[in-house]
Amino acid sequence: MAKHKKPKAQSNTIALNKKARHEYLLQDKFEAGMELQGWEVKSIRAGKVNITETFIQVKNGEAYLHASQITPLLQASSHVVCDPMRPRKLLLKKREIDRLIGAVEREGYSLVATAMYWKKCWVKLEFCLAKGKKLHDKRADSKEKDWAREKERTMKHAAR
């Protein structure tokens, strides 16, 4: 009998925004589908995506992803006029959009994209309600991170 080998775990992550955790205090996470064109999906499969400077804007009851860059492939976009920085509509439920509008307008939150990934055959965007950090907040976070690292080192050496 031949044993069935498990396929290697593939990462579903397309792009991450690591800068967001440093620049913002992230609160609630949301997941949204994206309205994409064919050439964009092909470029995403090739990994030609950058979401480091992205933000989400809600207007007229719809959410849009701004400043995300999807670089077109030469072979996939020869017959189409491609705009790599175009705003892309996010697919959310009305209740979620109303909640986002309330948080942004009344409470002063920003909407920042943190990750783009595959969920089955769909491209999903993870974004968070975020408040901007001040310089002293960033310093405090780095001190806490350094202290945690130092504590781990001392515990590791003490255990030996």
Question: Do residues 116 and 22 touch, judged by C-beta distance below 8 A?
Answer: no
Instruction: Give the pLDDT mean for 66-80.
Output: 83
Q: What are the pLDDT digits (tens) for 3-49?
A: 666 555 567 999 999 999 888 989 999 999 999 998 999 999 999 99
Q: Residue 114 has what pLDDT?
A: 96
Collapsing DSSP to helix, strand or coil, 15 comes out as: strand
- Residue 46 contacts residue 73 (beta carbons within 8 Å): yes
Rounded mean pLDDT of 39-62?
93
Name the residue among 61, 46, 52 with its Cα closest to residue 20.
52
Tell me how many degrees the CA angle 90-14-127 measures, rounded to the nearest 5: 40
Please state, rounded to an integer, the average pLDDT across all residues of the chain: 88
C-beta separation of 25 from 131 below 8 A: yes
User: What is the set of domains in the chain, with CATH numbers?
Assistant: 13-133 (2.40.280.10)
Per-residue pLDDT at 23: 87
**Under DSSP, is residue 97 helix (H, G, I), strand (E, B) or coil?**
helix
pLDDT digits (tens, 9 = 90+) for 100-152: 999 999 988 999 999 999 999 899 999 999 998 887 777 888 888 889 999 89
Q: What six digits make up the tokens of 124?
A: 């999903």
Between residues 92 and 135, which one has the greater pLDDT?
92
Q: Is the pLDDT of residue 155 over 80?
A: yes
